[in-house]
Amino acid sequence: MLDDLLATLRVITLPTRTNFRGVTYREVALMQGPQGWGEFSPFLEYDDNECRPWLASAIEAATVARPARYRDEISINGTIPELNDKKEIEELMRTYAGAKTFKVKVGRNLNEDVIRVARVFSNAPKASIRVDVNGLWSVDEALTNLYAYYEEIGPLEYVEQPCATVEELRELKAKIKIPLRIAADEIIRKAADPFAVDLTGAADVLMLKVQPLGGIKRSLEIAAHHGLPVVVSSALESAIGIEYGLDLAASIKELTFDCGLATGSLLASDVAEHKIIDGKIALGQISPQLDGLDVSAERYEWWKNRIMRVGALL
């Protein structure tokens, strides 16, 4: 099966609009099968073992029929990276037309972070605000910083992965005295076994990212196992990978939170455009155009070899 998919392999590069956690471009491998395109785009520093679920997701996308849908459009959040320029933040926010929720990347500098979140809030005072810390805080730092947000901005919809470990998240929830939801991302996404992680008393919301979790079927199984409300989010994929995330979101019966699937706004170019209308993205609106985006022959071989190595681990 993988040999057939490799015969269709295209590897493309997509520049980002801003520096997003150190990323200024995305290299993306695409393979076409009987059910459409599958995307394999683990970040360049990931080792072969961490890439396994990403490849499983790509193979599933290309070869397995999509599950039944509960909806044909998905409400999205706008994602704001670590920008400090007022005009840049305003321009990016406008690309998320009609979004009622914004997720702001924070964690490295409290003063800059609070200013960034306040600017987002001032531009969209009726919006729900989330912050994403990527596990950068200790429990004490999380307590200090979250009280600061509460005093300056008010209650957050949730904070995503404020600390790195389940034990720290559980301690934070036990100690904090303000209303707070915690969303679990890395502790599930990077776990050797996402089913073995005990989120009791540690998290209120579960982040689902279709590639890192191994595809739609496995993502749904992980969600069912943990029994928490979910948010489907992206891993900064191309529009093809985003479309598969939309397919996952559409297949979840209870979807009460806006999803982080509008990250196409963070790319300077893409294989297609997901139009955002009234804060929602409709499924099935893209027609990928790959011409002019291909990487060099050397980078193509690097990705092909990577896929074959990872495929041998599946």
Catalytic option among 100, 103, 105, 280: 105
Per DSSP, the chain holds a count of helices (H) and strands (E) of 10, 13
Dist CA 159 CA 179 (whole Å)? 11
Q: Among candidates 29, 35, 33, 32, which has minimal Cα distance to 55?
A: 29
Catalytic residue check, 105: yes
Catalytic residue check, 209: yes
- Which tokens in the block code for residue 214? 């191994």
Catalytic option among 103, 173, 190, 209: 209
Dist CA 168 CA 171 (whole Å)? 5
Residues 6+ apart with CB under 8 A from 87: none
Across 163-200, b (16+ Cβ under 10 Å) vs e yields: bbebebbbbbbeebeeebbbbbbbbbbeeeebeebebe
Cβ-contact 127, 104 below 8 angstroms: no
Dist CA 81 CA 108 (whole Å)? 12
3-state secondary structure of 158: strand
Cβ-contact 232, 245 below 8 angstroms: yes
- Which tokens in the block code for residue 309? 């190595």
Cβ-contact 237, 210 below 8 angstroms: no
Cβ-contact 82, 117 below 8 angstroms: no
- Which tokens in the block code for residue 254? 């209870």
Q: Among candidates 232, 234, 241, which has minimal Cα distance to 288?
A: 241
Dist CA 290 CA 10 (whole Å)? 8
Dist CA 128 CA 93 (whole Å)? 13
Q: Which residue has the tokens 């979840």?
A: 252
Task: Tell me the catalytic residues.
Answer: 105, 209
